[in-house]
Amino acid sequence: MADKAKKKAKNDEPAVSSRPTVKKDFRHPPRLPTIARPLPEEDLEVMHHAEGVDSDSDVDPAYISPSIRDKLGVPLEVKLPPALLQAAEDTGYTRGVRQIQRSVVKMQAAKRDEHLKPKPPPIGSAQLDEQMLRKVFQKMAISSKVLRHLFLQMGREIAAEELEAMVALVDMRETGQATYEDFSAVFGNPAETLRQINIEAVKAAARGEVRQKKELEVDLEESSEEEDQNSEGADEEEEELAENG
């Protein structure tokens, strides 16, 4: 009986294959549930009101959140404390509430204007309006006398030597006056054009010395070698014609 039981137990055991088994070295990671990225409070606020606009809620479609109003400079609605409103209603002095609201609106308008006001350029820089400068240079020739008159109109008195130095600074051709092209060349790209300025002329103008204007002198008596050869050839031809004639 014992032998039969052992044989039956062996027959009941699962058959083991003779082929070697291979274990999987790589397994796909388990799929975890995705977690939504948390939104900032401002986005949540805007999305909340946007959802309300699509539905049949009482939210006005033209509603702008307070944070966006503050950034855009839109005036906020003046909300007074309930205690102040109750005191004004009890005393009948409702005019004070309107005055407070108007003053708050003025403060918001001043803050908005200050926020929208263009910021001044950094110290040491200059912002020039090209169209305005072109109109100025088309109407008048900038010279030391004109500059002096303009500075006097602005209430600033400048010595003549300083004006001469200013003209010499932008007078690249040393003609005694500056054109728009000279002005824009010097102040538009100072790193390159300042190397070409005649420093000695600027120093001489600042010292009060009179600068000599450049004059292009053309010597009409000098001629090139080709012209001399052509003239000699023409003279020889005339002599030959005279002898033959």
Q: Which of residues 57, 81, 116 is at a domain's end? A: 116
pLDDT value of residue 168: 74
Position 239 in a domain: no
The token pair that represents 167 in the structure block? 């003209």
- Summarize pLDDT for 80-113 with one digit per residue, the tens: 778 877 887 888 777 777 787 788 778 877 777 7
Q: Write the CATH number for 173.
A: 1.10.238.10
Are 148 and 174 part of one and the same domain?
Answer: yes
Q: Domain of residue 66: give its range.
A: 43-116
Position 174 in a domain: yes
Q: What is the DSSP letter of 173?
A: T
Position 143 in a domain: yes
Number of compact structural domains in the chain: 2
Q: Which of residues 69, 84, 116 is at a domain's end? A: 116
**Containing H/E element for 23?**
none
pLDDT value of residue 55: 47
Are 106 and 150 part of one and the same domain?
Answer: no
Position 72 in a domain: yes
| pLDDT, mean of residues 60-65 | 60
Position 10 in a domain: no
Taking a C-beta distance cutoff of 8 angstroms, is the pair 168, 213 a contact? no
Q: Which residue is it, tokens 């090139």?
A: 224
- Summarize pLDDT for 206-224 with one digit per residue, the tens: 777 755 544 444 444 444 4
Give residues with Cβ within 8 angstroms of 45, minimum separation 6: 65, 67
Q: Tell me the one-letter amino acid at 59.
A: V
Are 53 and 99 part of one and the same domain?
Answer: yes
Number of C-beta neighbours around residue 193 at 10 A: 16
